[in-house]
Amino acid sequence: MKIVLIGYMASGKSFVGKKLAAVLGIPFKDLDAEIENQEGKSIPKIFSEKGEIYFRKVENEALKQIISKAEDFVLATGGGTPCYGNSMDLILSQKDVLSIYLKTPLDVLVARLLSEKENRPVVAHLDTEEKLNDFIRKHLFERSYYYNQAALIIDNGNESVNDTVEKIILKLF
Ligand SMILES: Nc1ncnc2c1ncn2[C@@H]1O[C@H](COP(=O)(O)OP(=O)(O)O)[C@@H](O)[C@H]1O
Ligand SMILES: O=C(O)C1=C[C@@H](OP(=O)(O)O)[C@@H](O)[C@H](O)C1
Ligand SMILES: [Mg+2]
């Protein structure tokens, strides 16, 4: 079983993914963590020292490597992963991969990112709730074109992580 979670920043890909992998008894992989290990730097450092275009190249390469492996996994991608280069086509073209969009309402994303934006260079500069809300509303609309191509769409708003994992499991079996 190969599961790839996609969705906006703070939709819960890393949080839900870890729990889902534990319940399924298969390895959990986080694309951002793989990139950080490979580059020997944090995501904010890669953005500030090498720039976003470099990050997107490395992100696409890391995705290719993980997705082509034979073993089972749950992979949490980054919020931008499916929206650059051929990454979404790559995810969709792998017949043994199940893509899942974790869909989270705008107000929940804004609330989560208000307290967790420092390590996310794409939104780190947005210093008020109003700016964050304005930016995410437009950005989410643009990115939804990619997210909505996932095979499965699962709501992860105000439900508990256990409920979200259960919803996914029910769709799998
Ligand atoms: N179902 C949920 N219930 C409660 N909190 C959640 C849920 N899903 C995610 N979160 C919270 O949202 C925050 C962002 O989640 P994270 O997994 O880092 O998002 P992503 O990897 O999609 O950017 C985390 O602090 C996590 O605790
Ligand atoms: O949406 C994005 O462009 C990004 C999302 C981040 O991952 P999370 O979605 O796990 O926060 C990380 O890959 C990087 O900061 C860029
Ligand atoms: Mg994450």
Residue ID of nearest Cα to ligand 2 atom 1: 79
pLDDT for 107 equals 98
Looking from the CA of residue 76, the nearest atom of ligand 2 is 10
Q: What is the ipTM of this complex?
A: 0.98
User: What whole-number distance in Å separates Cα of residue 67 and Cα of residue 128?
Assistant: 37
Residues framing ligand 2 (Cβ under 6 A): 9, 13-14, 32, 43, 78-80, 120-122
Beta strands in 15-172 (DSSP E): 28-30, 73-76, 97-103, 152-155
Query: Which residues, at least 6 apart from 105, have a Cβ–Cβ distance to it below 8 Å?
Result: 157
DSSP state of 160: -
Tens of pLDDT along the chain (173 residues) come to: 999 999 999 999 999 999 999 999 999 999 999 999 999 999 999 999 999 999 999 999 999 999 999 899 999 999 999 999 999 999 999 999 999 999 999 999 999 999 999 999 999 999 999 999 999 999 999 999 999 999 999 999 999 999 999 999 999 98
Tell me which H or E stretch contains 109: helix 106-115
pTM, 2 dp: 0.98
User: What whole-number distance in Å separates Cα of residue 142 and Cα of residue 100?
Assistant: 18
Ligand 1 centroid to Cα of residue 131, in Å, is 21
Residue 101 bridge partners (DSSP): 6, 153
